[in-house]
Amino acid sequence: MDSNSHNTSDTIVALSTPMGHSGIGVIRMSGPESVSILKRIFRPAVNASDFPDRKAVYGRVVDPETGDVLDDGLALLMKGPRSYTGEDMVELSLHGSPAVLDITLKKIASLGVRPANRGEFTLRAFLSGRMDLVQVEAVIDLIEAPGPAAVEEARARLDGALSRKIREIANAIKDLVAELEAHIDFDEDDDELPPDPDRELRRILAMMEELIKTAHRGRLRREGIKTVIIGKPNVGKSTLFNRLLHADRAIVTPYPGTTRDTLEDRIILGGASFILYDTAGIRENPEPVEQEGIRRSLEKIDQADLVIAVMDGSAPADDRDRQALEACSGKETMKVLNKKDLGLFMQPGDARTGSADQMCVAVSAKTGEGLDQFESLLADTGKTMACEKSTSDEASLNSRCLLLTQTAQLVMANLMDDLDRTLRPRPEIMSLELRRVLALMEEMTGERVEEGILDRIFERFCVGK
């Protein structure tokens, strides 16, 4: 990240809507000169000595040197500290002409305003205390949300649901450290025994474990459920893949080994996002190129959250079917009996499918028969895996916060092990270890954070946010 992005004494500007032809385009400014710049480039349609806070004003954007009209639109002033960045901010909503927007940006820059870096508006919000680092990451997750469940989860974090839980843990640790260190300070003049932290340590550890339990479900909401379609050659995997996408993404032929590489696409069912992978048919003694495709199929199965095992329902299961099913052993698996249009030899719930009724469905990928039932089953599975929540404000740890929490949990667990084995550490040692845990919790929210971590987080942002 540019070192200027940490300088909040200047005024920045950027286009906050994607470049391209559109109905409107929004230019955003933030910093101490925002109001004075606005008065130089914008003329309200009705004479006004000042721009009211948080009220849109209609008028014209003009060249500050010549007075020539560049465009007409709306100007919105948001005075700090109640703005997004905590500074004076201005948003200009103009016609979405790339030429108009580019000219306006250049005129604003000519007045000494610096082009913003990636995520610099949100960085300023973080530096001014308007949001913590958990909320910052929620902003980009909200922008990139693949489906409704991801939007809801990001919204909960942006509203502070996760931050409150992290701070609850941090405050409990602070209280415990204060109690221990008060005893350390006066232990020479005090015959009392050191405080017994056992109950409070267990409570803090339980809160950490509860946070960690939500992380997997949160990843599925944010990133999507990795769903791999497997089966032996010619059972209709690619046809089913195309049916789910309502598009001809995969090549379909009657010849075994047509699919050589893994195809990927995304669908949304029941609010959950599924990343679908069509894979090469699994069989013995494939040719060299097909063998590489099977290797990639097995790799995708290993990474999968959900496996859709496709079988030819019109014929008895054979060794190749069993080989495919063995490959997804231990994974959440849904079985599909395809080729229903040819008549079913096996039925859902048949012991030969190795699946209970609720996780097995018969379809014809060729005609579409049974597809509605299959999509309904897939949607219900997605809801169970990713969307159902125990509380209305559940917000989960992302990968960065999960790693920090797991590290903190390990320190806490080691302390508990020592207590359980009656190897009670001295208060000084316990305080030191708890301060390590506290530092990890505060790194999550950004109360303590290295500049390199900030750089990596804000690299995900677009320039105008």
Query: In which element (H, E) is residue 375 found?
Result: helix 371-382
Tokens at 148, concatenated: 């409704």
CATH entry, 224-387, from 3.40.50.970, 3.90.420.10, 3.30.2320.50, 3.40.50.300:
3.40.50.300
pLDDT of residue 391: 44
pLDDT given for residue 188 in this prediction: 54
Name the DSSP class of 461. Answer: S
How much is the pLDDT for 288?
56
Q: Which amino acid is at 101?
A: L
Give the pLDDT confidence score for residue 181 in this predicted structure.
82
pLDDT at 142: 92
CA distance 428 to 408: 18
Instruction: Say how many C-beta atoms besides its own lie within 10 A of residue 404's C-beta.
Output: 19
Per-residue pLDDT of the chain (465 residues; tens, 9 = 90+): 555 556 778 999 999 998 889 999 999 999 999 999 999 999 998 876 678 999 999 999 999 999 999 999 999 999 999 999 999 999 999 999 999 999 999 999 999 999 999 999 999 999 999 999 999 999 999 998 888 888 888 999 999 999 999 999 999 999 999 888 887 765 555 545 456 788 889 999 999 998 998 888 888 888 889 999 988 888 888 888 888 888 775 545 454 544 545 788 898 988 889 999 988 766 555 555 556 666 777 788 888 899 999 988 888 888 888 888 888 888 889 999 999 888 888 777 664 555 544 588 999 988 989 999 999 999 999 888 887 654 445 678 998 999 999 999 999 998 888 877 776 677 788 889 999 999 999 999 999 888 888 888 888 888 888
Render 6-46 in DSSP notation, one character per residue.
Answer: G--SS-EEEE-S-SSSEEEEEEEEESTTHHHHHHHHEEESS
Q: What is the pLDDT of residue 318?
A: 83
Tokens encoding 80 = 């700090």
Q: Residue 300 in contact with residue 262, Cβ under 8 Å?
A: yes
Q: Which residues contact 229 (CB under 8 A, 6 or more apart)?
A: 237, 240, 241, 276, 277, 278, 279, 308, 310
Identify whether the C-beta of residue 397 lies closer than 8 Å to the C-beta of residue 211: yes
Q: What confidence score (pLDDT) does residue 260 get? A: 47
CATH 3.30.9.10 given to domain 148-217+398-446 = no
Q: What is the pLDDT of residue 452?
A: 85
Residue range(s) of every CATH 3.30.1360.120 domain in the chain = 3-132
Q: What is the pTM of this model?
A: 0.80
In this structure, how many other beta carbons lie within 10 angstroms of the beta carbon of residue 442? 20
* Start and end residues for every CATH 1.20.120.430 domain found in the chain: 148-217+398-446
Whole-angstrom distance, CA of residue 438 vs CA of residue 204: 11
SS (H, E, C) 390-416: CCCCCCCCCHHHHHHHHHHHHHHHHHH
Q: Identify the three-state secondary structure at position 350.
A: coil
Return the half-sphere exposure (C-beta side, CA atoms, 13 A cut-off) of residue 406. Answer: 11
User: Could you tell me the CA-to-CA distances from 157 to 81, 125, 238, 450, 460 in Å, in that order?
Assistant: 22, 16, 38, 22, 17
Residue in the block written with tokens 């250049």: 106
CATH of domain 3-132: 3.30.1360.120
Residues 6+ apart with CB under 8 A from 248: 242
Per-residue confidence (pLDDT) for residue 222, from 0 to 100 = 86
Give the CA-trace dihedral at 377, 378, 380, 382, to 10 degrees.
160
Amino acid at 139: V
| pLDDT at residue 258, as a whole number | 47
* Range(s) within the chain of domains with CATH label 3.40.50.300: 224-387
User: H helices within 90-160, ranges in order?
Assistant: 98-109, 120-127, 133-143, 148-158
Tell me the three state secondary structure of residue 74: strand
The b-or-e profile of 79-100 (16+ CB within 10 A means b, else e) is ebeebbbbbbbbbbbbebbeeb
